Amino acid sequence: MFDFIKEALPALQTDTAEYSMGVQIWIRVMAASFFGGIIFVGVSRRSLWIVGMALVTLSSLIVGKLLLPAFSRGDIGTVVHLVVWPVAVLLLWWPRAKSSAVHPSVMVRLFGYWKYWVTFLIAVSLMLDFKTLIGWIWS
């Protein structure tokens, strides 16, 4: 199993290295933001949906590159994003009982800001993924 991963990771890194520096920074910001959700588990377990989404995305990129080596990281990522990410955002925002706290703690407020931040990152990324999908359909 680890031999397969050792084959896929360099291929993914090669694909990523071909992206502009701006795209590479965008990927790093998203990864740090998504995995950063682990610090909010004590505030809301909903943050685990985003952490899980990031793990599924990473795993899917590896498996996708193993099974479909001719496809680029971007192509595999587009499909994974369009399938997995909307579900994770929906679960993050699913209505729940409101807290009765008059003055929410700092961590609760930070969680709220983080939730808006990752939703923004996902929304921008999904818009770019839909643009890619439309390009596939029309070509």
pLDDT of residue 9: 79
pLDDT of residue 98: 66
User: Is residue 1 pLDDT above 70, yes or no?
Assistant: no
**pTM over cut 0.85:** yes
Is there a contact between 55 and 112 (Cβ–Cβ < 8 Å)? no
Give the chain as a DSSP string: -HHHHHHHHHHHHHHHHTS-HHHHHHHHHHHHHHHGGGGGTTT-TTHHHHHHHHHHHHHHHHHHHHH-TTS-HHHHHHHHHHHHHHHHHHHHH---PPP--SS--HHHHHHHHHHHHHHHHHHHHHHHHHHHHHHHHH-
Q: What is the pLDDT of residues 74-133, one digit of tens each?
A: 999 999 999 999 999 999 999 876 665 666 789 999 999 999 999 999 999 999 999 999
Q: What is the pLDDT of residues 16-55, one digit of tens each?
A: 889 999 999 999 999 999 999 999 999 999 999 999 999 9
